[in-house]
Amino acid sequence: MDKPNRILVLFAHPALEKSRVNRQLIRSIQGMESVTIHDLYEHYPNFHINVKLEQELLLAHDIIVFQHPFYWYSSPAILKEWQDLVLEHDFAYGHNGTALRGKKVLSAITTGGTQEAYCRKGHNYFTIRELLAPFEQTAHLCGMEYVPPFVIHGTHQLQEAHQIAPYVESYQKAIAMFRDNTVDWQTLLQHKHLNHYLEHVSNTLESPLHVQ
């Protein structure tokens, strides 16, 4: 097997003790080989971000995951602060800012709004991909490849463990696939969300043509 991708999960949740979904997502990937979970609120409760340390973490990993609840069509405040400070000129972008080129970036977000709410006829008008455009463009400016996001809609309706479990399983599977480089990247990029790609892979494996 090829050398696994090293994955850095930049986790940002200001009230993890109140979280049902994100807490279970992060637990599902704790202890996975080649996966580093970096809880920004835990490390920087006063927002005093160690820029050098954060840059070293970025350099040491191949795939960067921004995991957070979708707050006001964006991220919790600490992740914006992290971007402002860590993605410096001549490190992440600019003529000499080539340190992050070739790395992949994934947004893994949870939102209380339903999928139907994120469309032209919905309450939020814009699609999730449109609202994540600043993250996507930031990745492009830094020479990184932004892959379709992992999105969990309607979290307010997910009250029971059995309702959350399929999303937890999908997220764990996605992180493992990214780590092991078993993703068909070209096919993935044709999907709006990583979730859709995972469904496609699952359906393909269940097809009678693939039964041995």
CB–CB of 24/172 below 8 Å?
A: no
CB within 8 Å of 94: residues ≥ 6 apart: none
CATH level 2 (architecture), domain 7-210:
3-Layer(aba) Sandwich (3.40)
The pTM assigned to this predicted structure is: 0.93
Render the burial of 14-28: b for 16+ CB within 10 Å, e for the rest. eeeeebbbbebbbeb
208 pLDDT exceeds 80? no
CB within 8 Å of 198: residues ≥ 6 apart: 170, 173, 174
CB–CB of 108/149 below 8 Å?
A: yes
Domain residue ranges in the chain: 7-210
Each residue of 141-195: pLDDT tens digit?
999 999 999 999 999 888 788 889 999 999 999 999 999 999 999 999 999 999 9
211 pLDDT exceeds 90? no
